[in-house]
Structure 1
């Protein structure tokens, strides 16, 4: 029998996390009863259609404890007498000594609130991201005795210390992740075969149906009809937009192109200033965050999709950027870098162009090649769509998650009966 799952999220809904929303909807359609526990209230002004299709109730925890002191204190004093409080306090103190930050205290307080305001019928916990959401989830699990599982992605893996990752992996019943290198890193830490699984998010191919039109034959020769380069992503360090802008500035003067960026992010002002310095500002359009259907329209209008993924200074990096899968599904040739999970989707000169990270010259050469050769773009785009539709259908991920949940629940029931 399927259990009611409380899914702990960093924020909900978020435009940049369509892969999570898609998974939530897929699980609901597969018959799972979900309640969403969000650590932050939404900040995006728009929503994707998928968010309106998800039926699960959303519970918001206090983002900052001092903003809701009565709520937090009520949970704290109610928890003191409960059996899980002392084990939780012991674990929290052990963690705090290794990570003396306000963030650690915040996760403890949020977990107390979750345990105190426990949604009726909640029988399982599942965290999306193994850093802060998994901290709240793990603490709530200690407090309540409810088991938990986890989906790890990218930043959460690579910016978490190994001690914390290995301990969470040991406490969770299982963890899935969406790239092979993330899978190998976590498996090496835990060294237990049935604790970590590789599960590509995939794409809802009903939402990203085949593009029946055709991409243009623009080759950069016509000043009145320049080649259209598109990128979608937040303006943050790991997306490498400064590298992409420098690459665009290196393109030959006789090549006519225009570039559109879709996405928000704190780094937009710096990128716009860099474009001014590089002398390319008149060729750029900054759209800001757009809803999914608007992004899809841009994929179909563009000639090239570019994303200069990199490993950020703090270790943050993408897993397999969902936008590369989306663009590929629309026969749009993608140019990206050899970072993280990108090569798990794109093979250089087979179904995309892949260049070394942090190399504006190599990226500029790939952009020029794609602009001047429409036939190459079409061949690579066709191959990219085939790869996505054959290997990145999100229904496969939902089937895998369904199997993992149900097998684990059978084990839990057997353990209880034999205890």
Structure 2
């Protein structure tokens, strides 16, 4: 099954907590703090793999989480860092932030890597907080927590040439003749339901050609499989536009040609501006009338199409020459513009806010408070002093005064409640 767009959730690992521990050894008194640091959380890493050609692996697994860092231990042992989670995607995959639509990565080469989310930093053990005046700290630091983010994976086929045209005009047959690809071929519409790629060998050169499933009128607005098809020609450098010149299905090749171009124009200005080689396929069905049909097409469009019978392999050499002579003068496609300034929103460990309740209680909350209050043993003198010191350094005490806090007012900070002392 071919799948080329999916939304998944990713989360880097949390940092492990630092621990409170004191050295205990027979005949050794006052061994001091020896709590180790927590390990860092694992990163979320994406890796482009040429061996993949669909996003089907993400159909049933939607949530990806890197390993958390382990907590520290006594004897100054640091916790183990979480293992990175490496997620493989096909070459040609574009990653977007689901909330903003910003392009955060574009994988155009095999083996290309991108660290999308970094794991949380491990917390400090109590040994880190020992000072000449604080010899036995009874507190440690918690590891940084990470948040889950939703991202969109879109597979945009990487090819030099794109075959476009209405259903059943012979694109798959042409691809099979030009390359060693073996697409499904049958005489009914929408035989091809996913892009087929093939490598064309041209003397000492080669290029990649993609058979884009048959477009229909309204594709740019989502008719049929709409954008699911059109996204796969966003990277091509040249379009080979195939029309059924025979008109055996009561179709007008000129009308079909104009409708497909209108869809390309509606979908993307870039696509509309790409060079095209127009191929008049199925000339074998017209016999001696083929030249007349080609002349009529040129008269009505101003474009002389190449005569072709893919099934008879007639006109292949001329087409290959035309493709290569055109392609060699067109520069390589540029990757999609990645928003280098984009950053996923992270847990804010520095913010706080102060609210005054109806009963006069001041409530201080926020990321900074969550980190600080959970590390404190309020009954421990050193821990309490460290807590107050951090409140003063952060400016929270001064902010409480500005908000009207007076001697004896009740202040709640996290799970801790105390009387304000000025």
> Taking structure 1 as the reference length, what is the TM-score of the superposition?
0.29
Q: When the two structures are superposed, what TM-score results if normalisation uses the length of structure 2?
A: 0.29
Larger radius of gyration: 2
Q: Whose strand fraction is larger, Structure 1's or Structure 2's?
A: 2
| Larger fraction in helix | 1
